Chain A
Amino acid sequence: MTTVAEQGVKPATMAQALTRAMRDAMAEDPTVHVMGEDVGTLGGVFRITDGLAKEFGEDRVTDTPLAEAGILGTAVGMAMYGLRPVVEMQFDAFAYPAFEQLISHVAKMRNRTRGAMPMPITIRVPYGGGIGGVEHHCDSSEAYYTATPGLTVVTPATVEDAYGLLRESIASDDPVVFLEPKRLYWSKSPWSPEAPTAVPGIGKALVRRAGTSATLITYGPSLPVCLEAAEAAREEGWDLEVVDLRSLVPFDEETVVASVRRTGRAVVVHEAGGFGGPGAEIAARVTERCFHHLEAPVLRVTGFDIPYPPPMLEKHHLPGVERILDAVARLQWEN
């Protein structure tokens, strides 16, 4: 079997794959509209919508007034009329003004109308830290979304997933909060925009590294950290399995449970705070369903339960390889 790299495919960044996903979705479906702050002429502050306004015009790639509730609220109306809006929230913390629209309408409209008026809206949110950003540009806000029934919450960690999952999110008839790990925007991998790799759909977790000693359960920006930790763990004699959730809602319990039943030990890793974070739910579910297979309590390595730190201190906050290995070491190996 040859890899795509061996076939001469050039590396592409996650940012390029995301742009291409929107471009292809717009070309295929005239109801897809991109809207947000600076997404048109500028191509977005992270350049993820670069070139779209030029190709599709301002009616389909719209620089909106600077008002997130207005952006999402008008997107709701556009979806009511049969369009398929793709909304960019400029930063994680800038999405908060839109929360009333998100929680009271976007998430509930299908249910409120007994399925008559679904909300096929994709809300793209660059999230997470690790880029030396200021306080309001680095939040891991996923728990707010996962706590809201009616929303699908997706987060890619690889270039091919960035394309595949965004395409699927835009095509979904349900609202999708698409969390883009901003520190992976410029991560590269061999990937062809002309022949994008097919990936499993939303709601399917993937084993990114097979192992036998313990399972690291993670997603988004923490996947590369976990893979690095798994490599480092070999020196300690641990063969770690790494599961990438890819979507938090729906949560692929079966893949996670199957992995933990095999390994008997688990650590959940994410940047968001631990109290009420996704790891709390995952640890609880794994414990409920794997109790008799577990050799040790399920542990969590998360961001501290603090407001996002200033850039010069963020390295102490973010889950790193050492902290993950420390947690693995505490999985009661001596028994």
Chain B
Amino acid sequence: MTVQELPGAGASHRVTPPPAWRPRTEAAPLLPDPEPYRVLGTAAAEHLDPALMRRYYAELVRGRRYNAQATALTRQGRLAVYPSTVGQEAAEIAAALVLEEQDWLFPSYRDTLAAVARGLDPVQALTLLRGDWHTGYDPREHRIAPLCTPLATQLPHAVGVAHAARLRGDDVVALAMVGDGGTSEGDFHEALNFAAVWQAPVVFLVQNNGFAISVPLAKQTAAPTLAHKAVGYGMPGRLVDGNDVAALHEVLTEAVKRARSGGGPTLIEAVTYRMEAHTNADDATRYRSDSEVEAWKAHDPVGLLERELTGRGWLDEAGMQEARDAAEAMAADLRERMNAEPVLNPMDLFAHVYAEQTGRLREQAAMLRAELEAEDDA
């Protein structure tokens, strides 16, 4: 059979490819809207649940205070390093609050606040950054994966958990967090592709905070938006204002519901801004202007919600004070417990490398033990 004889070959001389070559998915419904979705400050806000929004307000105030306290702890030498989420509290908190008890959260190293909002003890969340161990909690107990330092490598883990849960017939959704810089990593691509092929119940939340340390998004991608990347994998992309906690709650809830009902993964880009430097060790003045930072202050996630709630009479001064008091209590408790010296046992270095220690490690552990005993004797 020649090409001319194939079905579809005709006057145009174009061949219809066999079925495997046809696109599987309609592209148009997957495309994100060109503008980030917003609720606060729009007419849609009148339909919000005042009680839920007051809860978000209290969490945002607490989250802002948590950021301030953690940064203060770096100055006091109680934390080795802290990557701040000031300005990003809405996305951190919404990511945690849309999940059910049995769901899994996959935070990056910046997302300690999301873990805390999910209910993790802040001291446990900060263990990695204090430096007394690499993870301060049992991930299975909390269904919070260890804070992940290598960029985007936690995303395939989320796909694996979601896939395994689905194979076992469990009702579990995995929500994976990553930054704008992380979307350039190969693991971002592979995770989204696997998730879409397997129709795994995963929600990918990209917080586009404008910078990967010093590198702005324009040097990171030529995509129209990061949400557009979803289309290439055959999953929907959603663009949302990352400082609008009501919009985030709606978009994330919808994606979690879609995943839970067997509809597969969603990629969400939350457009936000990192108000502080990458970490306390970074100097943001080397790569961005104060005026840019100032402009974003007017779009602060706490202020946005506060204006909406007070404007509608859903929150009064007493309610705000209550939120501030609760945040202060959390900060005081965190400060006090972080000021206690962590208990260190150098022999732990050998305890968890393998299920059963190798002869080699037993020998090295004995060497360290002897050194410690000699120190004690001296």
Contact = CB atoms under 8 A, between A and B. Distances in A.
A74 B352 contact: no
B139 interface: yes
B218 interface: no
B353 A59 contact: no
A108 B190 CA distance: 21
Contacts of B359: 250-251, 253-254
B190 A80 contact: no
B168 to A, nearest CB: 8
Contact of A69 (B167, B174, B187, B353): B187
Contacts of B55: none
B159 interface: yes
Interface in A72-104: 72-83, 97, 100-101, 104
Interface string A51-65: 000000001000011
Interface range for B: 35 or more
B74 interface: no
A177 interface: no
Given A111-B134, A150-B354, A100 B157 contact: no
B327 interface: no
B67 to A, nearest CB: 25
Contact of A78 (B139, B146, B161): B161
B133 A114 contact: yes
Interface in A88-143: 97, 100-101, 104-105, 108-118
B194 A67 contact: yes
Contact of A80 (B141, B153, B160, B168): B160
A104 B133 contact: no
Nearest to B141: A116
Majority secondary structure, B binding face: helix
B268 to A, nearest CB: 19
B164 to A, nearest CB: 4
Given A74-B159, A78-B161, A250-B359, A112 B153 contact: no
A109 B154 CA distance: 12
Contacts of B133: 114
B224 interface: no
6 contacts: A74-B191, A80-B145, A100-B153, A117-B146, A173-B355, A251-B359
A259 interface: no
A239 interface: no
Q: 4 tightest A-B contacts by CB?
A: A77-B160, A73-B156, A70-B190, A81-B164
A193 interface: no
A116 B138 contact: yes
Interface in B131-147: 133-135, 138-141, 145-146
Interface string A194-213: 00000000010000000000
Contacts of B139: 80, 113, 116-117
Contacts of A115: 351-352
B64 interface: no
B187 A100 contact: yes
A149 interface: yes
Contacts of B164: 77-78, 80-83
Interface in B113-157: 133-135, 138-141, 145-146, 150, 153, 155-157
A70 B354 contact: no
Interface string A259-279: 000000000000000000000
B326 interface: no
A73 B190 contact: yes
Given A69-B190, A74-B191, 20 more contacts: A65-B190, A70-B190, A70-B194, A72-B156, A73-B187, A74-B163, A76-B160, A77-B156, A77-B161, A79-B160, A83-B167, A105-B157, A108-B134, A112-B134, A113-B139, A115-B352, A150-B354, A174-B355, A250-B359, A251-B358
Given A111-B353, A113-B135, A116-B139, A77 B150 contact: no
Given A81-B161, A112-B135, A114-B133, A70 B167 contact: no
A150 B187 contact: no
Given A77-B161, A250-B359, A67 B190 contact: yes
B358 A203 contact: yes
A178 to B, nearest CB: 16
A77 B162 contact: yes
Given A73-B191, A117-B140, A100 B150 contact: yes
B71 to A, nearest CB: 25
B35 interface: no
Interface string B154-184: 0111111111110110000010000000000
| Chain B CB within 10 Å, residue with most, of A76, A77, A253 | A77
B360 interface: yes
Contacts of A203: 358
A150 B353 contact: yes
Contacts of B292: none
A113 B138 contact: yes
Given A74-B163, A117-B139, A150-B353, A104 B193 contact: no
Contacts of B49: none
Contacts of B351: 114-115
A69 B354 CA distance: 23
Given A110-B355, A150-B353, A152-B354, A74 B160 contact: yes
Contacts of A97: 186
A226 to B, nearest CB: 24
A57 to B, nearest CB: 10
Given A73-B153, A80-B157, A251 B360 contact: yes
B370 interface: no
B376 interface: no
A172 interface: yes
Contacts of A72: 156
Interface in B241-281: none
Contacts of B145: 80
Contacts of B355: 110, 118, 172-174
B197 interface: yes
B348 interface: yes
A110 B163 contact: no
A118 B351 CA distance: 13
A159 interface: no
